Amino acid sequence: MNAKRGFASDNNSGVHSDIIKAIQEVNSGHTIGYGSDKYTEKALQKFKQIFGKYTETYFVFTGTAANVLGLSAVTKSYHSIICAETAHINEDECGAPEKFTGCKVLTAETPDGKLTPDLIKKHLYGFDFEHHSQPKIISITQATEMGTVYKPDEIKQITDFAHKNKMLVHMDGARISNAAVSLNLPFKAFTTDVGLDILSFGGTKNGMMYGEAVVFFNSNLAPDFKYIRKQGMQLASKMRFIGAQFLAFFENDLWKKNAKHSNEMAQYLVSKVKNIPAVKITQPVEANGVFAIVPKQIISELQKEFFFYMWDENKSEVRWMTSFDTTKEDVDQFAEKLKALL
Amino acid sequence: MNAKRGFASDNNSGVHSDIIKAIQEVNSGHTIGYGSDKYTEKALQKFKQIFGKYTETYFVFTGTAANVLGLSAVTKSYHSIICAETAHINEDECGAPEKFTGCKVLTAETPDGKLTPDLIKKHLYGFDFEHHSQPKIISITQATEMGTVYKPDEIKQITDFAHKNKMLVHMDGARISNAAVSLNLPFKAFTTDVGLDILSFGGTKNGMMYGEAVVFFNSNLAPDFKYIRKQGMQLASKMRFIGAQFLAFFENDLWKKNAKHSNEMAQYLVSKVKNIPAVKITQPVEANGVFAIVPKQIISELQKEFFFYMWDENKSEVRWMTSFDTTKEDVDQFAEKLKALL
Amino acid sequence: MNAKRGFASDNNSGVHSDIIKAIQEVNSGHTIGYGSDKYTEKALQKFKQIFGKYTETYFVFTGTAANVLGLSAVTKSYHSIICAETAHINEDECGAPEKFTGCKVLTAETPDGKLTPDLIKKHLYGFDFEHHSQPKIISITQATEMGTVYKPDEIKQITDFAHKNKMLVHMDGARISNAAVSLNLPFKAFTTDVGLDILSFGGTKNGMMYGEAVVFFNSNLAPDFKYIRKQGMQLASKMRFIGAQFLAFFENDLWKKNAKHSNEMAQYLVSKVKNIPAVKITQPVEANGVFAIVPKQIISELQKEFFFYMWDENKSEVRWMTSFDTTKEDVDQFAEKLKALL
Amino acid sequence: MNAKRGFASDNNSGVHSDIIKAIQEVNSGHTIGYGSDKYTEKALQKFKQIFGKYTETYFVFTGTAANVLGLSAVTKSYHSIICAETAHINEDECGAPEKFTGCKVLTAETPDGKLTPDLIKKHLYGFDFEHHSQPKIISITQATEMGTVYKPDEIKQITDFAHKNKMLVHMDGARISNAAVSLNLPFKAFTTDVGLDILSFGGTKNGMMYGEAVVFFNSNLAPDFKYIRKQGMQLASKMRFIGAQFLAFFENDLWKKNAKHSNEMAQYLVSKVKNIPAVKITQPVEANGVFAIVPKQIISELQKEFFFYMWDENKSEVRWMTSFDTTKEDVDQFAEKLKALL
């Protein structure tokens, strides 16, 4: 029998009840489609309050779309995009960035998922040389795919480095709420305030049903994004239901409560397994992901009850993600089972 | 003050309460993401029951995505796609078909929105000639953008004609429920049974929140569609909520009740306005759209209370769409206002 | 036995001997590749002299490439391109414009191959409406595919109309030399001086071996064209041989002599066949193409000796193209044969 | 004063006189355009003789086009292409592979430019997993960009490995003649006979003016390549001049004489500089490229007289390419100057 909640991914969870409630509350009468309704407009205002008045925000359906369309808005096909080898845009989007932007995606190896100017600079050459894809934008992930979190000054080093080279910086913020909670900082402190250019702001992995946002920190960056979104097949007709979800997401700091809980459950999980000799935590646990090496022979048995993914078959490294709805009991049962198997 | 419900589009409506209920009911515990959950699997089985066991169905977010990815699955960039000039893929998708498939889109003028072999054949030349985009697929819309409905044998004439020319036929079924009710036939009778190859099956315009389906009538047509959908940024992580919506859509024939009501409201609207001398109905009203010429001077006044769109400025022709939630009172008030303005 | 020269196309001809000589003359020692050689630089200077100092010119291999890359330079994928239904970019490039630019190509029917603001304007709507491909550029052909030639003021009407609508105008000048001779005007008079934005300047159809030029009339239009050309697979490594050809093309007005001869041969052909009752010339013969209706039963017999193409099977209309190397004897023999068959 | 011939690239050379002569000889009368002429047909037959009767060959203009269109023929946009980090398709095509195929390009570091199954296998995972670009084709370069040459069995190891994984192998043969001479083997021995699937066969770098060939080793691989070439803007109208060049290229083994000379000049250059203590040859010299570390301070002085490129600024490593027209005197003068500067 499977557990009610596993540790596969924060998108294996359901939807927070406040989000569902918000959806119900706006479900009355007609509103103009495609984003000209009052809920969407109010939600977009909220994004301006959070990130600053010079920002422009657009809602899309998925995180992949937020990344790809955001990158698409500021690139031409002869540009290159630089990211960590583990980045979602490199590993998990089936080549959507290449297909949709035409750009070359260049990667840097980084064990903890974080880029630095030093890791990036090997790709910065061939400027003005027509035979070579022109480096245009650096994409970082916050929190990273490895469960680590960039500090504001680490991001600033990257944006300074990028801007000095006439490049831009994009952040894949599928788990930006977990990062904000981890840093104990408002979103603005590690985005607007450190020179970020584009953000994919994630909702789905933190308790929403669907809906992500593309935030441009300078409205000149994408004067034509509405066409890019529509042509990108990401313009919702009944947009009010995305607007309503985001309103609920920010109302009473639901985003923070969800992310805080999720991060705490990751710490709780660590506390439960770190002293097991056969288990080795492999990354700093700064958000809601726990990476660990566990004995290969118990993995499939453990997976029978609790969903989770193998991360690196060769190293017998697994990934455990906690979620807004993970409970202490889930963790306790999981740790018990793990111990029992060893 | 605006009316609670207007006649702008069937996607200006909200979501049917049974759909909302279904969403709530599946919102418990974790399920595998990206479509491997039991609700999605059950919904896909339902599609097999409806359209036949050789069909394969995939869920996406939007109607534009269903059209574009479906066409993408069976075309190469040197192909051409033939459709009515008024087709959604030609007029309303901001060039997404060209961008995503690379194909040429060829159009035929047709006042009632319906294609015939005669209208299509002018584009069937240059086969095997490398200078010319190769005609590959015909796309029809059911119900059409003009509110008319193809009869099964009209579709069969097109599929026979296409297959004889080694071409395929796609149906944009954003309003397929309205067509089925209008024809008083099961979906199968005018899709599977008349040789259709690909269908975009619409949910959103008939009471769902989001979610459309791409149906391939022969599983060989798109063995690799899962990659096309993911790369097309249309793979939902919390897919169970699309699965659940479709289950509710088919449960107790909700789809039929909604579409039947919507079509009836269009007829009711016709009955209320057809005798007004200044109003001229311009298309057969076979689904849930009413096209009419009305005196130009009253249009903007009428729009202040009831949303609806100008269709053809030059002819002073407008479009009134009814929806699953349109009420007789909505129509009565609208007709009253219209008469008052004349 | 086939004739030495037929009337199929001006690209069925060989290469003018002065062009071959120029190729030989530059074939000595090493030069920097990819266009930084002195011959290419001198040829580019020549283009500046001809079209004006604010122009920027780039060499590519083919006419299709000149059209597609030129259009690509100034469009985004959500734009539309408007042209005559008979335009090369619409009929004869196997969808390369759609594939490479992602744009929608919209057409207007025009019997003589010439566009007018009146023919174009039906496509100018939906500006600023994100559901609709945004009209961006009008492409005209000079001389047209129908052998007709735009007068300067006809072009000016189109450029004025375009610019008023914030659009651009491109000219497919695969046969621009024939047009210049026909108008008895310098190139500048019907390009730079009438507000053209982009030109595909043709060499191959007027006596060159290969090589066409993309001319931007304002260097701001395509600051990044060098990347577009390279990524478009059109950057010649041994560019000096294109440069040398263009130098010879302009030297002693070779281009003019070739085009003048070609046009005269078309007139001579007309003079030989116009009085044959069974032959009906269908288009004004203003450049080097002659369109005629001839009895269907003699066509294939005539084609056995002289290559030429059927233009419209239904009307039994054929196209006869003359070339820089067509001789009076070729025409005489052709007319004799034609008469003999009737 | 610059030297008549430098060491920048084999495409900085001119054209072999036999090639020019062949061009002149076919320049008479009309032939059908676009490849249906007898010279092109004869040249294509020659390719069948060389590579085997099951092969199909198509001519294009540039090496980048041969690579990109060849890869395009067998990939879909959700595939990935694996190559050496130094590969031309990765470094020198301005992202044309990504733009045109939509595929992800994955690279392996390899100091000598040669791939092995061991280097490739790190990218072979995620098969059948829709989130991940599907590995589809391995591209190797022969001779490599580092002047090294694969032995037939090294290629066979790669093709066996690829085919076992249901993948294909492409060879960028821009310098395939130099490799054949280096191996002292017919082309077939290290292509057809070792299981290659697609070849870009180079002419331009070995004495031709322009023209490359795409060879499919199984005609089923690209039944539709004629459309891909045309849409790829690479269909020459006056194709006979490419056909004629290739006929001359194979006539009397001109290709072999040219490549043999070029390779010998590289060896001669090595013999002249290898004993200079300040110069360090960094790669085995197996074809016509010599890589060497030389003192940084003399490089720009040396470049003033002899073109050549810096390869790796950090290591002060340069690349010297010899060509079919390089003379012993060129090398002697170069070595003298080099010594004089040290």
Distance from CA of A104 to the nearest CA of C (A): 11
- Given CB atoms, is C168 within the 8 Å cutoff of chain B? no
How far is residue D230's CA from residue A153's CA, in Å, rounded to a whole number?
51
Confidence of residue B2 (pLDDT cuts 50, 70, 90): low
- CB pair distance less than 8 Å for B78 and D231: yes
Chains with 3+ CB–CB pairs under 8 A to C are A, B, D
Q: What is the largest CA-CA distance in chain D?
A: 61
CATH 3.40.640.10 fits A17-253, yes or no: yes
Q: Which two tokens stand for residue A141?
A: 């992930």
How far is residue C138's CA from residue C154's CA, in Å, rounded to a whole number?
14
pTM assigned to the model? 0.97
**What's phi and psi for C103, nearest 5 deg?**
-75, 160
* Partner residue facing D130 (CB), from B76, B78, B230: B230
**Predicted pLDDT of residue B33:** 92
Reply yes or no on whether the pLDDT at D1 is more than 60.
Answer: no
- CB pair distance less than 8 Å for A91 and D132: yes
- Given CB atoms, is D109 within the 8 Å cutoff of chain B? no
User: For the segment D194-230, what is each residue's pLDDT rounded down to a tens digit?
Assistant: 999 999 999 999 999 999 999 999 989 999 999 999 9
**What's phi and psi for B284, nearest 5 deg?**
-60, 135
User: For the segment B277-288, what is each residue's pLDDT rounded down to a tens digit?
Assistant: 999 999 999 999
Reply yes or no on whether the pLDDT at B195 is more than 50.
Answer: yes
Reply yes or no on whether the pLDDT at B1 is more than 60.
Answer: no
Instruction: Report residues of chain C scoring pLDDT below 50.
Output: 1
- CB pair distance less than 8 Å for A230 and C130: yes
Cα D314–chain centre separation = 26
> pLDDT higher for C95 or B3?
C95
Distance from CA of A278 to the nearest CA of B (A): 27
Q: Which residue has the tokens 């060509």?
A: D323
User: For the segment A100-139, what is each residue's pLDDT rounded down to a tens digit?
Assistant: 999 999 999 999 999 999 999 999 999 999 999 999 999 9
Chains with 3+ CB–CB pairs under 8 A to B are A, C, D
**Predicted pLDDT of residue D175:** 98
Domain ranges of chain C: 17-253, 254-341
Half-sphere exposure of A239 (CA within 13 A, CB side): 25
Chains with 3+ CB–CB pairs under 8 A to D are A, B, C
- Residue C34 Rama label (left phi>0; alpha psi -120 to 50; beta): left
Distance from CA of D170 to the nearest CA of C (A): 18
DSSP secondary structure letters along B260-277: HHHHHHHHHHHHHHTT-T
- CB pair distance less than 8 Å for C93 and B131: yes
- CB pair distance less than 8 Å for B91 and C130: no
3-class state of residue B313 by DSSP: helix
> Looking at residue A240, what DSSP letter applies?
H
Q: In the C/D pair of chains, how many CB contacts fall below 8 A? A: 165
Output the average pLDDT for chain B: 96
Alpha helices, DSSP H, located in chain B: 17-25, 38-51, 63-74, 88-91, 96-101, 117-120, 152-164, 176-183, 225-231, 240-250, 254-273, 296-305, 328-341
**Predicted pLDDT of residue C4:** 81
Q: Give mean pLDDT, residues B27-52.
A: 95
Distance from CA of B133 to the nearest CA of C (A): 4
User: For the segment D297-321, what is each residue's pLDDT rounded down to a tens digit?
Assistant: 999 999 999 989 999 999 999 999 9
Cα B231 to Cα A93, B234, D103, distances in angstroms: 6, 8, 11
Class of the domain covering C254-341: alpha beta
C146, amino acid identity? M
Confidence of residue A4 (pLDDT cuts 50, 70, 90): confident
- Residue B166 Rama label (left phi>0; alpha psi -120 to 50; beta): left
**Predicted pLDDT of residue C2:** 60
Reply yes or no on whether the pLDDT at B26 is more than 50.
Answer: yes
Buried b (16+ CB within 10 A) or exposed e, C38-55: ebbeebbebbeebbeeeb
Confidence of residue B227 (pLDDT cuts 50, 70, 90): very high
Single out the residue of C220, C161, C151 nearest to residue C183, CA to CA: C151
Cα D128 to Cα A49, B215, B220, D125, D159, distances in angstroms: 43, 21, 17, 9, 21
